[in-house]
Amino acid sequence: MPRKPIEPTKAPAHRTAGAAIAQALLPFMAKIPESQERPSQTPSADARKKANAAAAKAALAAGALALPPGPLGWLTLLPEMVGVWKIQRQLVADMAALYGKQATLTPEQVVFCLFQHTAAQGVRDLVVRVGQRTLVRRASPRLVGAISRRVGAKLAQRALGKSMARWLPIVGAVGVGAYAYMDTAKVAATAMDLFEGVIEVEAEEVVDTTPPGLDDDSPVDHSETAHFSGVSEHASKRARSRRKAQP
C-alpha cells in the first residue's frame, strides 16, 4: 500500500502570532522619535497632561480599529497594537524632553517603558536599578532579537484573548479602547518613574546569555536586528555629542 504523505505540523496560533508581533516590534527598538517639547519647570504636572492626552488618543485609535466585526476584526489586531505603540513611543519621547532627559534617551529606554508592565521578563535585560541610579544597558543585535521574541510571545497570549472582543462590534470596541487607555497610563507611569531618577547609559552592548532552547524560537528577520545595531549606535553617538555640547 502506498504510504500517506506526512503532513507538515502547523505552528500553534500563539507561536505564529508571537512571530508576527516580534517582527512588528523591531522598528520600535531601532528609532527614537523627535520631540517638540522643551524641559519644563514642572515636569510631573506637564507629563501627566501629556499622558492623559495620549491615553485618550490611544483609546480612540484602538476603539476605531476594533469596530469591524468577526474575522475582519481579527485582521486589525496587529495594526491596532502598532498604532497604540506609536502613540506611546511619542509620549515617552515627549516626557523625556519635559524632564530634560531627551539627550540621553535611547531605544532601550523607550522599549522598557512600553512593555515593562505587560512583559517584564522580556525587557528585564534593558534596565537595572542600582541604588538611586538607573543603569540602562545597550542591547546587541542578538539581544534585540531575543527581547522581541520574548515580548512578542507574551503579547500574543494577550492578543488572542482580546480577539474575542471582535465578535462584539460596539461593546468590544469600547472595551478595547478602555484597555488602550489604561495601558498608555501605565506606560506613562513607568516613564515618569524612570525620568525622575538619575539615568546612566552603559557604553558597551549587552549580549543575550539565554541558553538555546529556553527562549521562544519564533523566527525573526536578522537584517532588522542588524539595522537596529546601526541606529542604536547612531543614537548613542548623538547622545554623547549632546552631553558634550551642554555647559
Pairing of strands 198-206, 133-139: parallel
Span 203-232, pLDDT tens digits: 777 766 555 444 544 444 444 444 444 444
How many whole angstroms separate alpha carbon 171 and alpha carbon 10?
33
Q: Which one has a higher pLDDT value, 233 or 101?
A: 101
Per-residue model confidence (pLDDT) at position 241: 53
Q: Please compute the mean of the pLDDT values over residues 155-166 and round it to a whole number.
A: 67
* Ranges of each domain in the chain: 21-31+41-208
- As a whole number of Å, the end-to-end CA separation of the chain is 84
How many whole angstroms separate alpha carbon 81 and alpha carbon 76?
9
Query: 144: exposed, middle or buried (C-beta count within 10 Å: 0-12, 13-18, 19+)?
Result: buried
Q: Which of 140, 169, 159, 158 is nearest to 72 (CA)?
A: 169
Q: Which of 236, 30, 28, 31 is nearest to 151 (CA)?
A: 28
How many whole angstroms separate alpha carbon 234 and alpha carbon 28?
15
Q: Residue 175's Cα: distance from chain center in Å?
A: 21
Candidate from 21-25, 51-55, 113-117 with smallest mean pLDDT: 21-25
48 within 8 A of 166, measured Cβ to Cβ? no
Span 96-144, pLDDT tens digits: 999 999 999 999 999 999 999 988 888 888 988 887 789 998 888 888 8
How many whole angstroms separate alpha carbon 137 and alpha carbon 196?
18
Pairing of strands 127-130, 198-206: unpaired
Mark out the alpha helices in the chain (DSSP H runs).
13-25, 43-65, 70-74, 77-98, 107-115, 141-162, 169-195, 222-245
